[in-house]
Structure formats: structure tokens, C-alpha cells
């Protein structure tokens, strides 16, 4: 999707206060890039201290008692706040793997899986295996 179209699509879906805010600033941001749109949106609605808190939450994220699906959803939600930690598929895979519960991690860690999708797939399989062993 073209960057300008992406901004237009998101702007179209804004509601209430966010929609009114965009109507006020859009004229001075006619040819805004997607990156710049996110920057000005975050400046308005998501202060730096909050983004830093979410980045710290991502760095400390562990599966705990969550299912793999729940852990993956939270991982994906928080990953955007620490892009330097997931800027390659390998780094993303290692970060995800590092938060897994030990019984699941033990099953997949030895495989040295190179991609995030591979780690996620094997973690889902290992989760079923571990659950059936109880």
C-alpha cells in the first residue's frame, strides 16, 4: 500500500477526539509519510514516558501462565515499542523464545530455529505436547 494511502485509510478510521485532532492538523500535513504520521499521532496521544514504559514491559515479557496464543498476542502488541529488539526476524525469534515457559522452551530451544514463525509454530506444538503429558 502506498504511504499516502495508508495515512488516508487510518485517518478515515479515526474517531471522536482523534478525528477532530486530525481535521485540525491535516492541512499542514498533506503529504505526510506514514512514519511522520505515527510520530505526530504518538506525540499527541501517547507520551514518550508511556512508550518507554511499554518498551520496558516488552523487554520483561514472559509467557507465565498465558497460553502461547495469549503470549504471542501480547508480544506482538508490545513489540512496536521496542523495534530495535525485533528489527530482524532472528532477533524477534530469540526475544519470543526467551519469554517462553521452561517446559516449552526446553522442547524448542535445542532446535535453534532461525525465524519467528518457526519458533511460534514449534512452541504451539510443544504446548500441546506438554499439556498432554500432565
Q: Which three cell numbers stand for residue 48?
A: 514518550
Closest CA to 19 of 1, 52, 41, 50: 41
Q: Could you give the CA distance from residue 87 to residue 111 in angstroms, rounded to a whole number? A: 22
Q: Supply the pLDDT for residue 40.
A: 81
CB neighbour class for 130 (10 Å; exposed up to 12, middle 13-18, buried from 19): middle
Q: How confident is the model at residue 4 (pLDDT cuts 50, 70, 90)?
A: low
Q: Supply the pLDDT for residue 3.
A: 55
> Quick one: how many helices (H) and strands (E) in the chain?
8, 0
Q: pTM, whole model, 2 decimals?
A: 0.74
For residue 68, is pLDDT > 60? yes
For residue 134, is pLDDT > 80? no
Q: Supply the pLDDT for residue 32.
A: 76
Q: Where are the domains of the chain?
A: 3-45, 49-132
Task: Summarize pLDDT for 35-65 with one digit per residue, the tens.
Answer: 777 788 888 888 889 989 999 999 999 999 9
Closest CA to 107 of 132, 73, 77: 132
Amino acid at each position: 500500500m502506498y504511504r499516502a494511502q495508508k495515512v488516508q485509510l487510518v485517518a478515515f478510521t479515526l474517531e471522536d477526539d482523534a478525528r477532530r485532532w486530525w481535521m485540525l492538523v491535516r492541512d499542514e500535513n498533506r503529504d505526510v509519510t506514514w512514519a511522520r504520521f505515527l510520530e505526530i499521532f504518538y506525540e499527541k496521544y501517547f507520551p514518550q514516558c508511556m512508550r518507554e514504559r511499554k518498551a520496558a514491559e516488552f523487554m520483561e515479557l514472559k509467557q507465565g501462565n498465558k497460553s502461547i496464543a495469549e503470549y504471542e498476542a501480547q508480544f506482538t502488541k508490545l513489540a512496536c515499542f521496542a523495534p530495535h529488539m525485533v528489527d530482524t526476524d532472528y532477533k524477534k525469534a530469540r526475544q519470543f523464545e526467551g519469554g517462553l515457559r521452561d517446559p516449552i522452551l526446553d522442547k524448542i530451544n535445542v532446535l535453534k530455529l532461525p525465524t519467528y514463525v518457526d519458533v511460534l509454530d514449534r512452541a504451539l506444538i510443544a504446548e500441546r505436547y506438554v499439556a498432554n503429558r500432565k
